[in-house]
Structure 1
Amino acid sequence: MVLNAKKQGIEKKLSKLYTKCKESGLTDEEILAASSPLQEYIKKSKQLETSKKRIRLVVCTAIAICVLAILFQYDPIYRVVCIVGRILSIKTLPFYDWSEFYYMDCVLYNPYYLRDGLTEEDCEMCEDLLYVETFEHLDPKNTTYFLFDNIPIVVTDALDSWKATKEFNLEYIKKLYSEDEVLATSTVCSFVSQSEDDFPTFLQTLGETSPTWNIRWSNCDIQANKILRQYFQRPYFLPDMVQVVGSWVFMASGTKRDPERARLEKVEKEQGDSFFNPEGWQEFIRDDNMQWMAQIKGQYAISLTPVEPCNRTCQPLNFELNPGEILIFTPKMWFFEYMPYGEEDSIALASMGDWE
């Protein structure tokens, strides 16, 4: 109220001053020129007031962000915010479908953006590749070349010091996952099997009520992953640029436990075919830069199929992965499938890797 009264008083005085100027014979242009210092002062005052408002807004925003950041470090508050945000997202979905934007790689189309895909030039590296070459005492620098050229290789001496090669078998793994406090209470991820039972139940039936099996799982719990990492190390031939991510366990029964599979495998071998059942392959799809699979016990049949566009010029690679061998390849170039093979039970460990 006081401010409005002052403003009205100033307006009245200016109105009287303007009237006297006109009575004195001054034109509007002369009055405007004479009042230019006052106008300049008013303009600067408005700019100063605007700057003060902006500074106050920036300071308040910064304080609010700092407070929110501090609160988000407090786990209960962070969980509440996540829960509320998820509930609100679900509630708004019937009225506005935001999922299209959630799954978009880019909100705005960039004509200069190129996906990290394969080109015809990339395919030149595998055109004459007819088998997977094996190495020992492999220098990490050479591994870098193989990774960048998308050439799969097998290394034969990387598992010599691994605890898993000495101790892992069916009974040991069953005992490990039932008696170790961390592994027994943690939840595994991406468990794949032919049974509808959960992982702990099905694992304990292997070799008993479940005479044959072909399973895999991932240890997504950090502490469980640390327990498993006690049984293997980072492969010595990996270059420093590769950051190893996660761990997977593959297990399958051998033909000693499966007479029908043994019969089919024998027939196919007599006919000169390398692998017995074209319907027995299982795919394992990942989008990491690199993947390795280490054969601990038994054998797996491996199939690496070139992906588009290299499948038109490069050949699929089928081979056996034997105990003590580790396969390394790039999923960008090769579609990976595996199948239990041979008489003995198979156990393999796998992990992925990325680099900038």
Structure 2
Amino acid sequence: MAARKRATANPVESKPASTKEVTEDVIKTDNDMSFQEKIEYIDQEIRKLHVFCVNSGYSSSQIERFVDPFTQSIKSVNRERWTRRAIRLAIFVVVAAALFYIDPVYKLMCVVGKKSAISVLPVWDWTKIYHSSCLVDNPLYTGGQLTSEDCEMCESLTGIERVSSLEKEDILDLYLKRDHPVIVEDGTRGWLTPDEYSIAKIAEAYQLSSVLREHSSCGFSSNLRQQYKEHRKLLNKAAKGEVSNYFAHWENCFPDAAKAFRYLYKRPYFLPPTVEIGINNHVFIASNYTGKVPKRIDMSQSMLVLAQVKGTMQVTVRPRDPCNTVCESMTETLKEGEIFVATDLLWSLEYIPYAKDESISIGLGGSFD
């Protein structure tokens, strides 16, 4: 009895820890835990709570409503984060657009962009993508591939036909749709006369026009390309008479430059509206050149329009495989004022620039329905 009284008379020994003591223990335990341990601890507690709710018979929708007050703060933080990102992006777009309309900044961006594009050409030829109608080839697409049945269109051809006063309907029905190359003898009707064309005048155009002067070219090829890496240097030397016995070919691949060069030619009179001429244009020049090796012409479009505005040029069409065993290669001399038209599906195109004085040709790509 006395022992029982003594046990009850000492309440301190059985009294639970105070709130202060528990808080201190939790803080001490919290301080002793690392950040990763805290995350794992919280995750375990949440999982235990979820299991408790499931075992208590609560549905998933009820559990989601229970935790909604906790998730609202997280959603709010995420919304604020994405709002800040959207505001920053909008500010960047507005500033970039404003700078784009400032002429000095725009020119600087163009120069940097063009130099970067040209510098990667030796590693990656992006011009093929520039001219391509599709960025990714469809492996299931079979159209546009030459078959042995297509060779029937050229097996009886023995030469390139010459015509004049060609009707717009005839160029489509008799030649383009049948893949028959043709030379239109009065093709440059309404253009400048041959006397108004010269290499010196072309050089002057590239000097006086700010657009032609600023834009570089693509696909520059010449027997002097080791000395002159691009067309403008060669033209400057040629205009001064400091070079001779040369040929050169380049493409005005930048739309502004191609548009500025158009004053030297017009749309051929015999092309109907259904024939679309490409934006870019090609320039072929030669002076006192007696070459014998054919040069390839690649317009990267379904048809070629080659206008001989001064001097002469020898053009050759060669049937592509598998028609090269059935059809014949054909060669003709293109004279002043004549335009050569051929399709790209059936034929590969070559030329030999030869001229006792000067030869100037303008090449245009196109497509037709």
Band the TM-score falls in, shorter-chain normalisation: 0.5 to 0.7
2:165 to 133, 137, 153: 137
1:242–1:56 Cα change, 3 Å: farther
1:219 aligned to which of 235, 241, 252: 252
Counterpart CA distance in 1 for 2:259 and 2:61 is 76
The 3-state SS of whatever aligns with 2:285 is: strand
User: Quick check: 2:189–2:269 contact (8 Å CA) kept in 1?
Assistant: no
Instruction: Provide the residue aligned with 2:30 in structure 1.
Output: none
Of 121-130 and 149-158, the range deviating more from structure 2: 149-158
Distance 1:161 1:107 in 2: 38
Q: Which residue of 2 aligns with 1:93?
A: none
User: 1:194-213, aligned counterparts within 5 Å?
Assistant: 194-195=223-224, 196-197=227-228, 198-206=233-241, 209-213=242-246
1:314-353 map, 5 Å: 314-341=327-354, 343-353=356-366
| CA–CA separation in structure 1 for the residues paired with 2:64 and 2:343 | 69
Q: What is the CA–CA distance in structure 1 between the aligned matches of 2:250 and 2:360, rounded to whole Å?
A: 12
Asked if structure 2 preserves the Cα contact closer than 8 Å seen for 1:292 and 1:352, the reply is yes
| Secondary structure of the corresponding residue to residue 252 of structure 1 | strand
Q: For residue 287 of structure 2, what is the aligned residue in structure 1?
A: 253
- Asked whether 1:119 is paired with 2:179, we answer no
| TM-score, length-scaled by structure 2 | 0.61
Say whether the 8 Å CA contact 1:163–1:230 is kept in structure 2: no
RMSD of aligned C-alpha atoms? 5.0
Query: 1:32: Cα distance to partner?
Result: 4.1
Structure 1 residues 312 and 181 mapped into 2: Cα distance closer, same or farther (>3 Å)?
same
Equivalent-residue separation in structure 1 for 2:336 and 2:60 (angstroms): 92
Q: May I ask how many residue pairs the two structures share in their alignment?
A: 301
The 1:36–1:141 alpha-carbon spacing in structure 2 relative to 1, beyond 3 Å, is same
User: Unaligned regions of 5+ residues in structure 2, if any?
Assistant: 1-41
- Structure 1 residue 235 and structure 2 residue 248: aligned? no
Is there any run of 5+ residues in structure 1 with no aligned partner, and where?
1-7, 20-27, 91-98, 262-276
Matched, 1:149 2:178: yes
Sort the Cα spacing of 1:306 and 1:110 in 2 relative to 1 into closer, same or farther, 3 A: closer
TM-score (norm 1): 0.63
**1:114 and 1:300, CA in 2 relative to 1: closer, same or farther beyond 3 A?**
same
Judged with a 3 Å threshold, the aligned counterparts in structure 2 of structure 1 residues 328 and 110 are, in CA distance, closer, same or farther, namely closer
C-alpha deviation, 1:223, in angstroms: 4.6
In the TM superposition, residue 38 of structure 1 has moved relative to its aligned partner by 4.5
Which residue pairs with 2:187 in the alignment?
158
Contact 1:298/1:322 (8 A) holds in 2: yes
Q: CA deviation at 1:236?
A: 2.5
One-letter amino acid of the structure 1 residue matched with residue 351 of structure 2 = Y
Percent of residue pairs identical? 24
Contact 1:290 1:331 in 2 (8 A): yes
Q: Any idea what SS the aligned residue of 1:230 has?
A: helix
Alpha-carbon separation, structure 2, partners of 1:59 and 1:139: 63
Whether contact under 8 Å (1:164, 1:232) holds in the other structure is no
Residue 168 of structure 1 deviates from its aligned partner by 0.6
Q: Deviations over 1:127-155 (max 9, x none)?
A: 11111122333333433343343221111
Letter in 2 for 1:212: N
Aligned-partner residue type, residue 231 of structure 1? L
* CA distance in 2 between partners of 1:233 and 1:247 (Å): 12
CA displacement at 1:331 relative to structure 2: 2.6
| Alpha-carbon distance change, 36 to 79 in structure 1, aligned in 2, over 3 angstroms | closer
